[in-house]
Each structure stands twice: as C-alpha cells, then as structure tokens.
C-alpha cells in the first residue's frame, strides 16, 4: 500500500510539473524557495499589505471627520478611527516582532554565539512598463515599439526577480545587474520635464508604511538598501566558530556599511523612514560595530589555547573599544528620529552588548593581571597596564600598576567583581525584553560569561580582605584594527543596454530632442558631381558640410544632421568607415534617413572641450554604474592627418590642421 501511495504521489508531482508554465527565472532569484527566511519575508509582505489597507481606511476616516458637520456622524467616525489605530498598532507590533526574529538569520552552528542584527528586505509592488515604454518609444524615438517588446519583457522580468532575491552572492549580483540596467532605462525613458505615469512603490522595511515616488532615484535607493540588507543577512549567517567564517562576516558587514553610507551620501529627501539620514547613519555605525565584534571574536579564537599577558590586555582594549562603539550606536538609536521606528529588541540588544563587552574588558584585564607570569611583566606590558588605568576617580581603587603580588591580586579581584556586576546587569536587561527572552543563544552566551567570571572570582577570593569592594578604574579603549567601508562596486557587474538599438545613449536619450526622422532620396547622373556633403564622427555619423547648390542641399540635407539609416540599414551605431563604405556602394541613388538635433549644434565644440572636438565614441553599450561619455562625435583621420570624404571631385583648401578632402564616388 505504501508503494502504491508513493507511486501515485510521484506521478502526481510529475503531472503537476508538466502543467506549470515554462517560466524563466533570472539567476539569483527563486520565488518558490521555502526557507525560513523566505517564509518570514512572505509574512512581512502580507503585514505590509494589511498596514497599507488600514492606512487607507484611516486616511478616509480622517477626511470624513474633517468634512462632516453632523455631530452623530463625527462620533461614529471617531470611534471607527480608534479601532483603525488599534489595528495599526497591533500590525506594527507584529512587524516589529518579525524584525526581532534575528535567530532565523544566524549561523546553523551549535555553538552559542552572540546574535547579530540583520535587516529585512524592503517589499515592492509589481509594475507594468509595457504601455508607457512603448508609447514613449513611438512618440520620442519615432520607432516601431513592437521591436522592443522583448527588451521591455526582459526588464520587467528582472524587476520581478529582485522582489525575491536569494540571500547569497547570487542575489547580490541580481540586484547589482538591475541597478546598472536602471542607469540605461532612466536615461532612455524618464525625461526631466515630464512624467510617464510610472510610480515606484516600496514598503518601509521596519514600519511597513508604503512610500511612492515617480523618480528612478527612489527605485535605486531602495534596491541599494536591499543589497545592504542581504549583506547583513549573509554576515549574520556565517559560522563564527571558525576564522574563515569570521573573515566572511567582517567583509559582509563592511559591505553593508559601505552600501548604507553610499545611499546616505548620494540620495536625499527620501520619503521612506528607513532611508532617512539619521536611520542610515545608525545602520552604518551598527554594521561597523558588528564587524568589529567579529574581529574581537577572531582575536579571542586565535589566542584561546595560548593566551599571554599582552594578548589579554589587547583583548581588554579591543573589548572596551567595542563597548564604546555600541555605546555610540545606543546614543544614535535612542534619538527621537530613530527610537520610535526600530524594534525595541534592537535597542535592548545593543544595550546588552554594551554592558557585556564592558564586562568582558574587565575580565580580560583581570586575566592578564592574575596571569601566572604577571610577576615578570615587561616594560611594554607595564606601559599598557598603566594606559588601561589612566583615569582613576577618587572613589575607585587607586592602583595603576601593581607594585607587588598583593596589589596585583587586589586589582585582579576588583576587575573580576566589576565584570560580575556588569554580566548580572546584562542578564537583567535580557530578562526585561520580551523578544530577547526567547533568544536561547543569547541567554547561553550571557550565562557562560557570568559563570566564567564567577568561577575566576571564587578561585581568587580572599575572605579576610575587603579592599576589592572599591571599583577598579574604567578600562581605556584602544584598537589595532582600522576598518574601511566597502562601497558598492558597480563595475564588477556589467550589463548590456537592453535598448541599445535606440542608438548611443549620449545622443538618443530622454533628455535630448530631435526632429522626426525624414527620408532623403538623392539621385545623380553619371557625369554629375558628387552628392555635395561631407560627414565626420562615429556612432552616429554627423553631416559636417553641405555644398551650396548641391544635390544634398536641394534634397534637404542640413549641416549637423545625424545619419540614422542608409537604405534599410540602421547606422546609429556605425563607424565613420562603415557609413562611407555604404555611401560608396549606393552608386548613383542614395537613400538617407536623417534627424536634426534640436538641443545644440554638435558641430560646435562644447565649452569644456576648449576648442577641440571630442574623439570619444560612445559605442560600448555597457554600464559600470558610472556616468556615460558626454559626447559621441569623433574625427576620423588617416595616417597623414587627413579626413577622406569621397563624396565630391574637387578638394577644398586647408584650414588649420583639420580639413576635408572631397573626391568623386567611382
């Protein structure tokens, strides 16, 4: 019976797969992945939709409350508003609880490690670009929009894929490719003077409140935010029980910090709270603190088997510095602009870490002072110990450098006692937060640290000496690690312009204007002169000179026109030599499709060129995330420094270095 059921289930699965549509999912995305993090993101998405619904209800009720003069109706609306606000509060609490589920993003290692704080992704709605893009191609570029249906579909598929990126480097790569593709799309389809009616709507990753804007800059900022969020999840997921895992975690947190700093410096006036400058600065400092925490763990891991006095004191300084970092994060996260928008568990965890690493700093100092070789300290070690106790208050134990074994044991016990007090405070704060109480890994770390400090204090306790009731001096912070943020490397993920057929983006973009393409037919007799015009430049080739009373002038060719097609061949991306060859091969009948730029005369050099014509040809069609070349005209010179334009028999006089040689087509 079991075999029959197994066969039937397997057969059913095969039939089900045959019925599924053949959908090509871009690499780095899998909307069907059923991981715990994927399920968590789905729950967050549903909560965002419910919050959006309640916000619309509240907006409508508030408008009705302001508009009506009926007292009874006002009371009814006020009661309804109270229900809506209550529902909103419950939904936001559920979202905060989801954002507090940091254990899902942690390593699968069985070792108890301090949990890290990752970020959830921003959700967005699907957008249909087909009609706006096709209308713009027909209106602005005067081309057949049906030829670009595949390109539009590819772009929409990529955007759909970034809604469910994988939480690994392939997901990061997908987001980078979409971001770089936005470079081209923004310049192709989003003019600065009007809107296409496309709105980008994203939900706040922390509050679930939707924000909507027409600018591509908002879309870019949200994509970058999700890159940083995935980096935080990758960092939190590393196995921090190994040096390799710790290095990978440090790299991920530094990349996340660099991404958030890039958003902070390049995007302003964001409507979403998680993109505000105060929030981004808090995230940068939080990621730097978590990167530094991994470095401390690596130093502790590498010195666990053979820990000298100097290493103990180095660990103490690093732990004190890390505690200062979390103290700064706690100050930023406690400000009014941030405090009300982050989960309470984040604030509690930052505070717990601040106390925890302050306690660990005292424990490391005690371990060094009570070390078996402490009686034979080197001069460098003594200087370090004096630095650690540089600032001593009147109520603290006045021992900077122990003179004998008695003072050394006294100082060590004082630091152990202070460490115990701080670890007990950590456990108290841990119990005070409802979300943190369920974090078993965190509870295990705090218990282990407290137990270790208590055992060390008991081993060195002297029942007849009460001098250690005085607090030791605060451990002075110092670090040997200089952290550098890793900004987004857009050049690593190069993409092809999906709409390259529209022409070089420096000329054929949404902010440029030109006349509608016009067809010019030139016919000449066998004994007549040439067509009467000269060209120069590459991609696109530009008409440089039109001879007076020539076929070109009578046919409507103008100086400064761009040649976009010869006969049935598109030449917007063609080089100077290719266009000349096509004109030669046309014989006595030449068919040109021309456009006249309306923004500027491309024959005249720009001010930035200082009298010289740019020789850069915009022909690669590849984006690195940086700005594209500003010009697309190029002088075509032969080895003797001449421009050979074989359209007319007689040659013109030389003017300066640049001149045109016109000969008859044969």
The angle formed by the CA atoms of residues 617, 619 and 624, to the nearest 5 degrees, is 105
Contacts by 612-615, CB closer than 8 A, 24 or more apart = none
Percent of all residues in the chain with a pLDDT value above 70, rounded to a whole number:
77
pLDDT at 661 over 60: no
DSSP structure string for 89-112: HHHHHHHHHHHT-GGGGS---SS-
Over residues 62-68, the mean pLDDT reads: 85
* pLDDT given for residue 465 in this prediction: 56
Exposed/middle/buried for 109, CB within 10 Å: 0-12, 13-18, 19+? Answer: middle
Choose from 344-358, 374-388, 582-596 the range with maximum mean pLDDT.
Answer: 344-358
Model confidence at 85, in pLDDT bands (50, 70, 90)? confident
The residue among 318, 319, 338, 341 whose CA lies nearest residue 330 is: 338
Phi, psi of 399, deg, nearest 5: -135, 105
* pLDDT given for residue 34 in this prediction: 43
Query: 544 or 623: whose pLDDT is higher?
Result: 544
Provide CB contacts within 8 A for 568, sequence distance 6+.
Answer: none
* pLDDT given for residue 323 in this prediction: 95
Provide CB contacts within 8 A for 453, sequence distance 6+.
Answer: 359, 363, 416, 419, 420, 423
C-alpha span between 307 and 118 (Å, rounded): 32
CA 199 to chain centre: 20
Phi, psi of 570, deg, nearest 5: -75, 130
pLDDT at 173 over 90: yes
**Contact predicate 359/426, CB 8 Å:** yes
C-alpha span between 477 and 362 (Å, rounded): 11
pLDDT at 1 over 80: no
* pLDDT given for residue 474 in this prediction: 82
The angle formed by the CA atoms of residues 497, 502 and 505, to the nearest 5 degrees, is 60
Model confidence at 449, in pLDDT bands (50, 70, 90)? very high
Choose from 83-97, 244-258, 371-385, 580-594 the range with maximum mean pLDDT.
Answer: 244-258
* pLDDT given for residue 395 in this prediction: 57
pLDDT at 289 over 80: yes
Over residues 606-623, the mean pLDDT reads: 36
* pLDDT given for residue 29 in this prediction: 63
pLDDT at 518 over 80: yes
* pLDDT given for residue 399 in this prediction: 73
pLDDT at 7 over 50: no
Q: What rounded mean pLDDT belongs to the chain?
A: 79
Percent of all residues in the chain with a pLDDT value above 90, rounded to a whole number:
36
DSSP designation for 267: -
pLDDT at 664 over 70: no
* pLDDT given for residue 464 in this prediction: 54
pLDDT at 92 over 90: no
Q: End-to-end alpha-carbon separation of the chain, Å?
A: 88
- The per-residue b/e assignment along 542-556, b for 16 or more CB within 10 angstroms, e otherwise, is bbbbbbeebbbbebb
**Contact predicate 270/221, CB 8 Å:** yes
Over residues 428-444, the mean pLDDT reads: 86
Question: Where is average pLDDT lowest: 248-262, 478-492, 512-526?
Answer: 512-526
Query: 479 or 261: whose pLDDT is higher?
Result: 261
pLDDT at 405 over 90: no
Model confidence at 428, in pLDDT bands (50, 70, 90)? very high
DSSP structure string for 383-410: HHHHHHT----TTB---SS-SSHHHHHH
Over residues 93-111, the mean pLDDT reads: 60
C-alpha span between 35 and 27 (Å, rounded): 17
What tokens were used for 441?
Answer: 């890994």
Choose from 97-111, 564-578, 644-658 the range with maximum mean pLDDT.
Answer: 564-578
* pLDDT given for residue 476 in this prediction: 85
* pLDDT given for residue 538 in this prediction: 87
Model confidence at 645, in pLDDT bands (50, 70, 90)? very low
C-alpha span between 513 and 338 (Å, rounded): 45
- β-strand partners of 536: 542
C-alpha span between 61 and 629 (Å, rounded): 52
**Contact predicate 380/310, CB 8 Å:** yes
pLDDT in tens, 27-41: 666 665 544 545 655
Model confidence at 644, in pLDDT bands (50, 70, 90)? very low
pLDDT at 226 over 60: yes
C-alpha span between 173 and 489 (Å, rounded): 11
CB 611: neighbour CB atoms within 10 A? 7
Beta 660-662 vs 643-645: how paired, if at all?
A: parallel
What tokens were used for 42?
Answer: 């789905």
Over residues 422-430, the mean pLDDT reads: 92
* pLDDT given for residue 627 in this prediction: 35
C-alpha span between 180 and 489 (Å, rounded): 11
pLDDT at 587 over 60: yes
pLDDT in tens, 324-363: 999 999 999 999 889 888 888 899 999 999 999 999 999 9
Q: Which stretches within 122-242 are classed as H helix?
A: 130-136, 149-161, 169-189, 216-237
Question: Where is average pLDDT lowest: 71-80, 320-329, 571-580?
Answer: 71-80
Cis preceding-peptide flag for 540 (omega within 30 of 0): yes
* pLDDT given for residue 299 in this prediction: 93
Model confidence at 419, in pLDDT bands (50, 70, 90)? very high
pLDDT at 548 over 90: no
* pLDDT given for residue 73 in this prediction: 85
Residues, the chain? 666
C-alpha span between 163 and 157 (Å, rounded): 10
DSSP designation for 137: I
Q: Which helix H or strand E contains 594, and what residues bound it?
A: strand 589-595
Choose from 174-188, 207-221, 411-425 the range with maximum mean pLDDT.
Answer: 174-188
Q: pTM for this structure?
A: 0.78
**Contact predicate 652/660, CB 8 Å:** yes
C-alpha span between 204 and 207 (Å, rounded): 5
Provide the strand spans (E) within 511-577.
Answer: 518-523, 533-536, 542-546, 562-566, 569-570
CA trace torsion 483, 489, 174, 621 (10° rounding): 180
The residue among 244, 234, 195, 229 whose CA lies nearest residue 215 is: 195
């Amino acid at each position: 019976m079991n075999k029959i059921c197994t066969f039937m289930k397997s057969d059913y699965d095969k039939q089900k797969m045959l019925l599924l549509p053949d959908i090509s999912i871009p690499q780095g995305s899998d909307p069907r992945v059923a991981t715990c993090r994927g399920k968590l993101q789905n729950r967050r998405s549903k909560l965002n939709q419910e919050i959006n619904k309640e916000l619309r209800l509240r907006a409508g009720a508030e408008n009705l409350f302001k508009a009506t003069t009926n007292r009874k109706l006002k009371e009814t609306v006020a009661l309804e508003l109270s229900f809506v606000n209550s529902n909103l509060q419950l939904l936001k609490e559920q979202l905060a609880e989801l954002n507090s589920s940091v254990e899902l993003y942690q390593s699968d290692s069985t070792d108890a490690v301090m949990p890290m704080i990752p970020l959830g992704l921003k959700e967005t709605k699907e957008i249909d670009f087909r009609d706006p893009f096709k209308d713009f191609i027909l209106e602005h570029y005067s081309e057949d929009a049906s030829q670009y249906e595949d390109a539009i579909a590819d772009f929409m598929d990529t955007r759909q894929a970034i809604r469910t990126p994988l939480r690994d480097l392939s997901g990061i790569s997908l987001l980078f490719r979409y971001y770089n593709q936005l470079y081209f799309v923004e310049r192709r389809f989003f003019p600065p003077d009007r809107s296409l009616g496309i709105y980008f709507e994203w939900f706040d990753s922390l509050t679930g409140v939707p924000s909507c804007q027409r600018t591509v800059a908002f879309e870019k900022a949200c994509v970058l935010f999700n890159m940083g969020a995935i980096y935080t999840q990758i960092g939190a997921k590393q196995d921090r029980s190994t040096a390799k895992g710790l290095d990978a975690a440090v790299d991920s947190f530094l990349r996340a910090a660099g991404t958030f700093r890039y958003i902070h410096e390049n995007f302003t006036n964001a409507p979403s709270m998680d993109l505000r400058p105060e929030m981004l600065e808090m995230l940068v400092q939080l990621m730097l603190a978590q990167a530094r925490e991994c470095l401390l763990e690596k130093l502790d891991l590498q010195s666990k088997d053979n820990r000298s006095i100097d290493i103990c004191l180095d660990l103490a300084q690093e732990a004190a510095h890390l505690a200062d970092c979390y103290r700064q994060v706690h100050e930023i996260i406690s400000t009014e602009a941030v405090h009300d928008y982050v989960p309470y568990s984040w604030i509690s965890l930052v505070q717990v870490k601040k106390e925890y690493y302050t306690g660990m700093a005292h424990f490391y100092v005690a371990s060094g002072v009570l070390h078996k070789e402490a009686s034979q300290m080197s001069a460098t070690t003594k200087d370090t110990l004096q630095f650690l106790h540089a600032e001593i208050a009147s109520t603290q134990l006045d021992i900077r450098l122990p003179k004998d074994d008695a003072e050394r044991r006294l100082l060590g016990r004082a630091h152990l006692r202070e460490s115990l007090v701080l670890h007990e405070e950590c456990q108290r704060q841990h119990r005070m937060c409802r979300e943190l109480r369920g974090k078993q890994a965190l509870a295990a770390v705090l218990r282990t640290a407290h137990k270790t400090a208590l055992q060390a204090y008991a081993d060195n306790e002297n029942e007849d000496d009460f001098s250690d009731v005085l607090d030791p001096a605060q451990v002075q912070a110092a670090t040997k690690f200089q952290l550098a943020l890793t900004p987004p490397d857009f050049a690593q993920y190069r993409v092809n312009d999906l709409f390259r057929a529209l022409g070089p983006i420096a000329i054929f973009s949404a902010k440029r204007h030109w006349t509608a393409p016009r067809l010019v037919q030139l016919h000449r007799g066998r004994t007549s002169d040439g067509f009467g015009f000269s060209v120069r430049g590459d991609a696109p080739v530009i008409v440089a000179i039109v001879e007076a009373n020539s076929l070109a002038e009578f046919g409507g060719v103008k100086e400064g026109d761009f040649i976009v097609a010869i006969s049935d061949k598109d030449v917007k991306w063609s080089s100077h030599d290719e266009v000349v060859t096509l004109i030669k091969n046309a014989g006595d009948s030449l068919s040109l499709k021309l456009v006249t730029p309306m923004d500027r005369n491309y024959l005249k050099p720009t001010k930035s060129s200082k009298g010289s014509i740019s020789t850069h040809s915009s022909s690669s069609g590849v984006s690195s995330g940086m700005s594209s070349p500003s010009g697309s005209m190029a002088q075509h010179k032969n080895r003797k420094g001449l421009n050979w334009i074989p359209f007319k028999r007689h040659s013109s006089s030389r003017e300066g270095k640049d001149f045109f040689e016109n000969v008859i087509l044969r």
